[in-house]
């Protein structure tokens, strides 16, 4: 993943949290579980809909 893809990947998480971006798959974790993992500085699994390496999610411009 390059820098542009990473910025878009992180932006997609904010867009998802603000409900600006909707997913086609059901998230495996609740918002509360994601916050707990983030506070503990653990990896939060990314939904397949925002996989930047596979060319999904917000496109780098």
pLDDT in tens, 23-39: 787 777 888 888 898 89
Domain count, the chain: 1
Q: Domain for residue 56, yes or no?
A: no
Q: Domain for residue 45, yes or no?
A: yes
Which DSSP symbol is given to 49? G
Q: Identify whether the C-beta of residue 26 lies closer than 8 Å to the C-beta of residue 20.
A: no
Average pLDDT, the chain: 81
47 φ/ψ angles, rounded to the nearest 5 degrees: -65, 155
Q: Domain for residue 44, yes or no?
A: yes
Query: Which pLDDT score, from 0 to 100, does residue 35 have?
Result: 86
> Where residue 14 falls among pLDDT bands split at 50, 70, 90?
confident
Q: Domain for residue 10, yes or no?
A: yes
Q: What's the rounded mean pLDDT across residues 30-57?
A: 81
**Does the pLDDT of residue 10 top 80, yes or no?**
yes
| Domain membership of residue 29 as a residue range | 3-50
Query: Which pLDDT score, from 0 to 100, does residue 40 have?
Result: 94
């Amino acid at each position: 993943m390059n820098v542009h893809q990473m910025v878009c990947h992180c932006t997609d998480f904010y867009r998802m949290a603000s409900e600006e971006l909707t997913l086609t798959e059901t998230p495996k974790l609740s918002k509360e579980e994601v916050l707990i993992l983030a506070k503990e500085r653990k990896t939060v699994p990314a939904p397949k809909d925002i996989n930047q390496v596979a060319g999904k999610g917000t496109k780098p411009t």
